[in-house]
Amino acid sequence: MSGVSSINDALRVEHVTLELGGRAILNDASFTVQTGEFIGVLGPNGAGKTTLMRALLGLLPLTGGSIRVNGEAVVRGNPSIGYMPQIRSGLAGRRVRGRDFVAMAADGHHWGLPHASAAIRADVDRVLDLVDAHALAARPLSELSGGERQRLLLAQCLLGNPKVLLLDEPLISLDPRHQTGVVDLVRRVQRELNITVLFSAHELNPLLNSLDRVLYLGNGRAALGTVDEVITKPVLSQLYGSPIDVMRVNGRIFVMSGDVEIEKLDHAHEEGDDGHEHEHEHDHGHDHGHGHKAKGKHTHNV
């Protein structure tokens, strides 16, 4: 892909190669995401979903190619990007109130309670309104459901009016009802603010009624298009490097390898007996433009 960037380009990835541990995660990948699109980011374990998001955040150097976000070169700590990482373990046991938890992302106090300015308090009120979470503001995280905590995490991402949201596996560990609630909420906020969303997931079906296009990663390649363009036997077989079948049943889509659903294979690999097969420690170093850093161990795909 080549040519001059359009003012409607939220993300422009050109001939990007990304390596991790000496292995090419993406190899000469090119695609463009338009402003205001809801993109589902899918692909098998190791395909590069998390790696791509970290590259968009400026946390991983490119081996080759270029990335532009809203027409600008990638920089670490870009305030126009809101990011929900996979580091979410430990939230369930915390006694911090919902409002304070959201405010922590605004003023850089990750462990201590924030001393918020009037401007920060106003922004916290704004994002709590956006995600309809004022009822959660006075309750401790330890008393909230997984879906309610995700609502507050989304509020954190919206601080400072970002133009792009990167949501890394926000549906992990949620039951189907809460998955639907999170997807519907993200879609509503995305349309209301006309922002761009990259929403990574293990499974396509929870996103089917909300996404505009699918970005499917596999074998170093990236395919971006509508569900009907990308979720096909020829495209997915090329991305997986093995024969893949696509079945449509009662409005749902199943990606099959032989007689086994691909997502079931991914979950079996990821959620084994110890559940930490790919645990690493990273300093995500991204602050949503507000100085907040998240550091810790987490399980991820790449």
The percentage of the chain sitting over the pLDDT mark of 70, rounded to a whole number, equals 79
pLDDT value of position 111: 41
Q: Both 189 and 114 in a single domain?
A: no
CATH number at residue 62: 3.40.50.300
Whole-angstrom distance, CA of residue 28 vs CA of residue 38? 23
pTM for this predicted structure: 0.82
Q: Domain tally for the chain? A: 2
Q: In this structure, is residue 133 part of a structural domain?
A: yes
| Average pLDDT of the residues in 62-89 | 90
More confident residue, 115 or 56: 56
Residues spanned by the domain of 198:
9-80+162-257
Are 74 and 180 in a shared domain? Answer: yes
Task: Say how far apart CA 286 and CA 7 lie, in whole Å.
Answer: 25
Q: Are residues 170 and 246 in the same domain?
A: yes
d(CA 224, CA 213): 7
Same domain, 141 and 225: no
pLDDT band of residue 266 (cuts 50, 70, 90) is low
Residues 173 and 142 in one domain: no
What's the pLDDT score for residue 294? 36
- What's the confidence (pLDDT) of residue 221? 94
Contacts of residue 255, Cβ cutoff 8 Å, sequence gap at least 6 = 204, 231, 236, 244, 245, 246, 261, 262, 263
Query: Looking at 160, 194, 214, which one is the last position of a domain?
Result: 160
| Assigned domain for 293 exists | no
Q: Average pLDDT in the 136-162 region?
A: 93
231 found inside a domain: yes
In a domain, 292, yes or no: no
285 — pLDDT class (breaks 50, 70, 90): very low
